[in-house]
Chain A
């Protein structure tokens, strides 16, 4: 059997499925479900996400309103559905921004070394020393009232909070890879710094960076949710899940499902991401990382 026929055979697919770690599979299934739900919620929701009077306020769970209604009669499930793509997009965009900034800075700083590295590391150290939530909130305040509640600001803040942490990881990877022979060969060929960093080091740091991306992505919905929960996130009535939990918290006695419905959604998304990350790091031979 040639390799091509083997890869297209059913047996290979079965083996591949068996070889992937369990958490990865469960995580992937949860994430695909969340993705489909988000796409559906983007195009269609049972009621409008800001439509008041979709039913009797606070009337609890029913077939028409699986997550009940809030105090101005908005259907919580419709809001939850519409919020899904917002949470996912903000998380992806923010993590991506942090990843691009952090990877570029970290790889350069690890490969170039010297003064550039020294200065970058000191700034990174200082940024990490500010508790990330405090840093995020201070940046939101500094942006001023014109930008407050704008999605762009949230993306920017997530990116900026993540960038120094990713820089550290990328730098450590680059320092290790920089000692390898193929980097020395590329230097002898006369390749420039940028070319070496992006052609030689980046591809070889891909595993580490992929796990880091997945790890950061797992936490992004929590960070965005926390900003929303504290009232510094996306502007209402946009149904970001953390904001919804905060809005409905005073309904905890009257209709707990309006809080725990979106809460379950948020938790299941993060569980999916975490399982996926865990499996991914095992598949790529990286140690699962713990800690913020």
Chain B
């Protein structure tokens, strides 16, 4: 019973958070002092252009009315119309989200490998040379801005040794091999950026678990080291890393903005930048809302998973 109440309250809080996000975004973009239309078009804009934009954004109505109208439409699935292109936002967003989802899945698969393998090597050889070497490498990578890492990889594998395309431009009629090749560099960049955070946490929690009584017991029972590691230690060590992974998903949403930009990948991130550059307020609101929703959902999922994976947490919370 209590576990259901816990989950219900978490879901309720997530919904409340998203409601607050919508208020914040609206306040920042539309309710700041000063004329919204002038801020979008600049001071040189003609009176006529300003008038058209004001009517497009329904600026003649009070802010409170506009907010609830937007929220109501959003909840019913009507994301509004993009100012810059005049197309319904849902149509613009759809394919971009699919592209980013594909990229993220690809990146996530690489991330799992890049995070797990070094962490396991480190934990098993703790204090030895290889542990320190990997620590130094992760610290160096941690210090590398994502836009720089992307540029370095682009230089290495698209300019110096041209084996991969520099521009990840894909379209509806590219074959899946073309798409996969185009996605390698952006996906690897994202995966490395996420993995460097997880490796540290995973290593520390693995070391802690390897010292615990039940791992000792498993060793004393005479289980093979590999079985101890993969069957007993790893599943328990992954729980602390789950939160990092949820954080990482939050990072992934921010990271795609940069990485998609560097490789000109037609995804959600480039759409956000385009919307910002064109000051397409309805599109900005929709993209930011969706990215916040993804972040909140990821955290909710991590919480739920943590509860389900570790029985101890069910009681202590």
Residues in A lying within 8 Å of B, measured CB to CB: 122-123, 125-127, 129-135, 137-139, 141-142, 144-146, 218, 221-222, 225-226, 229-232, 242, 245-246, 249, 252-253, 256, 259-260, 263, 266-267, 270-271, 273-275, 278, 288, 290-292
A127→B251 CA distance, assembly (Å): 14
CB distance from A276 to the nearest CB of B (A): 11
Which chain B residue has the least Cβ–Cβ distance from A264?
A: B148
Q: Does B28 reach chain A (CB closer than 8 Å)?
A: yes
> Is B16 a contact partner of A122 (Cβ separation < 8 A)?
yes
> Is B152 a contact partner of A263 (Cβ separation < 8 A)?
yes
Label chain A's interface by main secondary structure. helix
Cβ–Cβ < 8 Å partners of A271 in chain B: 139-140, 143
> Is B155 a contact partner of A129 (Cβ separation < 8 A)?
no
- Can you name 7 A-B residue pairings with CB atoms under 8 Å? A122-B17, A131-B253, A131-B292, A134-B254, A142-B39, A270-B145, A291-B201
Which chain B residue has the least Cβ–Cβ distance from A275?
A: B139
> Is B39 a contact partner of A130 (Cβ separation < 8 A)?
no
> Is A130 a contact partner of B292 (Cβ separation < 8 A)?
yes
CB distance from A229 to the nearest CB of B (A): 4
Cβ–Cβ < 8 Å partners of B279 in chain A: 141
Which chain A residue has the least Cβ–Cβ distance from B198?
A: A290
Tally chain B residues at the interface, Cβ within 8 Å: 56
Cβ–Cβ < 8 Å partners of B159 in chain A: 252-253, 256
> Is A274 a contact partner of B139 (Cβ separation < 8 A)?
yes
A273→B144 CA distance, assembly (Å): 12
CB distance from A280 to the nearest CB of B (A): 14
> Is A292 a contact partner of B251 (Cβ separation < 8 A)?
yes
Q: Which 5 A-B pairs have the closest CB atoms?
A: A126-B20, A144-B39, A131-B254, A270-B143, A133-B254
A137→B258 CA distance, assembly (Å): 12
Interface string of B244-278 (1 = CB under 8 A from A): 10010011011001100100000000001100110
Please provide the chain B residues from 128 to 150 with a CB less than 8 Å away from any CB of chain A in the complex. 139-140, 142-148
Cβ–Cβ < 8 Å partners of B155 in chain A: 252, 256, 259-260
Cβ–Cβ < 8 Å partners of A139 in chain B: 28
A245→B147 CA distance, assembly (Å): 9
Which chain A residue has the least Cβ–Cβ distance from B16?
A: A122
A123→B18 CA distance, assembly (Å): 10
Which chain A residue has the least Cβ–Cβ distance from B166?
A: A252
Q: Does B234 reach chain A (CB closer than 8 Å)?
A: no
Which chain B residue has the least Cβ–Cβ distance from A140?
A: B276
> Is A129 a contact partner of B143 (Cβ separation < 8 A)?
no
Given A130-B21, A131-B250, A267-B144: A252 touches B29 (CB 8 Å cut-off): no
> Is A267 a contact partner of B295 (Cβ separation < 8 A)?
no
A123-B24, A125-B13, A141-B276 given; 7 more Cβ-contact pairs under 8 Å: A122-B16, A129-B295, A130-B295, A137-B272, A256-B155, A271-B143, A274-B143
CB distance from A153 to the nearest CB of B (A): 13
Given A141-B279, A144-B34: A129 touches B147 (CB 8 Å cut-off): no
CB distance from A270 to the nearest CB of B (A): 4
